[in-house]
Amino acid sequence: MSDQIAAAKASEQAASRAALIKLVFFAATLIILPISSYFFTEKYVWSGNSNYAAITAICAANIVLIAYIVVSVMEDKQSFKDAEEKKISETKKER
């Protein structure tokens, strides 16, 4: 009984560490990607036109946002499915 609790705690810790790594990755991408794409495209792609470079940076920031929303919705569906499976297995055990 106690090793079941330990296994559950370990898996919970692993899940929260994975979530933390994902969050840190998205935060770093949100900081680095737009401003670096602004300077990079201003110099090499749009040959000095800063308005187009600003539009590129805004598109990059919105792409990061959409990726975050997609990842969080997928994770939400996954955790919902896991909770349902756990409930089904628990009702089976009670019988």
Partner 1 sequence: MPADLCPPYAPFFGFAGVASAVTAGAAFGTAKAGIGIAGLGTFKPELIMRSLVPVVMAGIIAVYGLVVSVLIAGNLTPSKGYPLAAGFIHLGAGLSCGMTGIAAGYAIGHVGDSVTTSVVGMILILIFAEVLGLYGLIVALLMNTKVTALVDVCN
C-alpha to C-alpha distance for 76 and 61, rounded to whole angstroms: 23
C-alpha to C-alpha distance for 62 and 53, rounded to whole angstroms: 14
Residues 4-63 that bind partner 1 (CB under 8 A): 15-16, 19, 22-23, 26-27, 30, 34-35, 38, 42, 50-51, 53-55, 57-58, 61-62
Q: Residues in the chain, how many?
A: 95
- Looking at the Cβ atoms of 7 and 58, the one nearer to partner 1 is 58
C-beta of residue 64 within 8 angstroms of C-beta of residue 26: yes
Binding site for partner 1 (CB under 8 A): 15-16, 19, 22-23, 26-27, 30, 34-35, 38, 42, 50-51, 53-55, 57-58, 61-62, 65, 68-69, 71-73, 75-76, 79
